Amino acid sequence: MKTLGRILIILMVFAALSALMVVGVNASGVSASSFRGEGGEFRPGGEGFPPGFQPGADGNRVRPEGFEEHSERGEGRGGISGLMFGAVRNIFVIALLVTLIVWPRSVARKKRKMDAVKPAITEG
């Protein structure tokens, strides 16, 4: 019962934040399908398609650059080697952040310990 209440609290906060986000994005107007990104990026639903473009047709899906259909089937940069590439890049980012934060802290802690020991030695 207690756990159920806690789950409900988490879900309620999640739902409230979600509602705020949907309202916020809709109110800002950028979610309109005719949205144009910087550099006049083209998206379907805009004022016109380039000649030969059929929205929704194969090869004309709206994807960020490099997100190609065939990758989903494990070809190209997909598959095991692709997974390795993406995962290695992301693990590298996390490892870099961990090193940048943990290492200076551990050096500072060691220095503090040494400083605490030094007076004891000179006093002795």
Partner 1 sequence: MSDEVARNTPVQTKTKLWLDLLIFAAFLVTMDPRSSGIAIHEWLSLAMLAALILHLLLSWDWIVSISQRFLGKLGTQNRVNYILNWLLFIDGTLLIVSGVMISEVAMPFFGIRLPEGFAWRRLHDMSANLGLLMLGLHTALHWGWIVNTFSRYLVQPVVRLFSAKQKKDAAI
Neighbour tally for 108: CB within 10 Å: 10
* Residue selected from 5, 50, 64, 124 as contacting ligand HEM according to rule CB under 6 A: 64
**H or E segment to which residue 24 belongs:** helix 2-28
In three-state secondary structure terms, 105 is: helix
* Residue 88, token pair as written in the block: 């290695």
Identify which of residues 8 and 117 has a Cβ nearer to partner 1 in the complex: 8
Residues 33-92 that bind partner 1 (CB under 8 A): 33, 35, 37, 41, 43-45, 62, 64, 66-67, 71-74, 77-79, 82-83, 85-87, 90-91
Q: Count residues contacting ligand HEM (CB under 6 A)?
A: 3
Is the separation of the CB atoms in 33 and 44 below 8 Å?
Answer: yes
Interaction site with ligand HEM (CB under 6 A): 63-64, 67
